[in-house]
Amino acid sequence: MSMTYTIETWGCQMNHHDSERLAGAFERAGFRAVDDPRQAGIVVLNTCSVREKPVQKLLSRIGELSNLANGPRIGVCGCVAQQEGEELLARAKAIAFVLGPGQIHRLPEALDAIARDRRVVLTGFDAAAEHNAGAIFRTSSTRGMITVIEGCNEHCTFCVVPYTRGPEISRPLKDVVQEASGLAAAGLKEIELLGQTINAYRCPVSGAGFAELLEEIATIEGPSRIRFITSHPRLFDDRLIDVLARHPKVSRYLHLPFQSGSDRILARMRRRYTRAEYLDLVRRIRRAVPDINLSADVIVGFPGESEEDFAETLSLLEEVRFGQVFAFAYSPRPRTPAARYGDQLPGEIKKRRLAALFERTDAIATELNQRLVGSVLPVLIDGESRRSASDWQGRSEDNRVVNFPKAGDFGVGEIVNVRIVRAGAHSLYGRCVEAVPARLPLAETVPAGRPADDAP
């Protein structure tokens, strides 16, 4: 078997960061990364179980890989690995190992088993496992992801995450700050803090909460932007709003899933907040950071959702006016309480509601984006635009996708000022005006419209 590997990643940012951790373990074991599975000794499928039919998707990809002439060994990681465990070995002979997201640090054991021609399943959660930040193989030179808290204790009735990623385990504040300082020293411009319920963070040593952690990271010299996902509305406190408002490096972007606009459905989802509480939170956040760009997750067609419930979801969208909405038609997940609810809705109703919702969210996002035409936004260049090789693609400080023609002496990882000339629902288009110096003193990085540090 050749000492080469490739990783295919599906799903959320947590999974993408887990792939960086897996890559780090491969590199330390002497393996070399390749892009093409036809050249790989080992192919890892880092799976996601949030979307529909994840096992079928996985088995079909394994079928394709099994037919490759080089006959790669196949490892399955991610949420489907944790969810299905041993079952997977029985369902696909080609699988060499199954490694749950809580067992990434044990990849060397799986590689050892491959070398001995044994198949292994490593799943479960280990609160004492070391998070070895030094072993992460980072794929971006502009953005660095850092896990702050693993798992989730919320047990929303539709969600499989507490079963696939286990209970919440927060990392010590000192370790997270040290990792962020390392990324800053390496010149990364943006730090993205990750957690399924990031504002449930509680330092196991000092008891400090997420607001304190965020504040410490915001004072590290170097990175221009700090983002964090995902916040649970019921855990979002005024201390965190205060940090958001006071620290110019903390992005004016916030992902705040609401899931439904109906109190009846929120209670059945076990979200533990009401529509009024969610709207009040949005009001408090906007009072502190008026131009914040909000995004959200929403589920349509949850069991028992009536036309009136759905109308409440639409009215919440109108009231908040999100810059981006990630909407899903409900589909049952194994082991979750909602999968056993007797009042599941037919597929056509879910499809119709999803289409109606997208129509409104796209119209609102277009209106919001069009207000930015004529303004100049600092854009961090991520790479070439997917649509045109003659354009760059990057993100504004509040996380909007911005495309603009390549011109001047700029490249990936630089921040340039872009004047916006047109806008759609999902992206902005502009012309580069000038480069922004790599490291500005804090005071000069305050974007227009952002309250100053001492704002009441």
**Using CB under 6 A as the criterion, which residues of the chain lie in contact with ligand SF4 when the complex forms?**
152, 154-156, 159, 161-162, 196-197, 232
Give the nearest distance from C-beta 2 to ligand SF4 in angstroms. Answer: 38
Nearest CB to ligand SF4, comparing residues 88 and 269: 269
Number of neighbouring beta carbons within 10 Å of residue 2: 13
Give the nearest distance from C-beta 171 to ligand SF4 in angstroms. Answer: 17
- For 202, the token pair is 């509680």
Number of neighbouring beta carbons within 10 Å of residue 76: 27
Nearest CB to ligand SF4, comparing residues 154 and 384: 154
Give the nearest distance from C-beta 161 to ligand SF4 in angstroms. Answer: 4
Find out whether 115 and 92 touch, Cβ atoms under 8 Å.
no
Find out whether 149 and 169 touch, Cβ atoms under 8 Å.
yes
Go through 203-238 and write b for each residue having 16 or more CB atoms within 10 A of its CB, e for each that does not: beeeebbbbbbbbbbbebebbbbbbbbbbbbbbbee
Nearest CB to ligand SF4, comparing residues 337 and 405: 337
Find out whether 277 and 233 touch, Cβ atoms under 8 Å.
yes
Find out whether 114 and 32 touch, Cβ atoms under 8 Å.
no
Give the nearest distance from C-beta 257 to ligand SF4 in angstroms. Answer: 7
Give the nearest distance from C-beta 151 to ligand SF4 in angstroms. Answer: 9
Give the nearest distance from C-beta 437 to ligand SF4 in angstroms. Answer: 39
Give the nearest distance from C-beta 189 to ligand SF4 in angstroms. Answer: 28
Question: Look-up: residue for tokens 């029985």?
Answer: 90
Nearest CB to ligand SF4, comparing residues 326 and 424: 326
Nearest CB to ligand SF4, comparing residues 93 and 155: 155
Find out whether 442 and 249 touch, Cβ atoms under 8 Å.
yes
Find out whether 98 and 118 touch, Cβ atoms under 8 Å.
no
Nearest CB to ligand SF4, comparing residues 19 and 196: 196
Nearest CB to ligand SF4, comparing residues 48 and 96: 48
Alpha carbon of 321 to those of 133, 250, 291, 314: distances in Å?
38, 21, 12, 10
Cis ω before 230 (30° cut-off from 0): yes
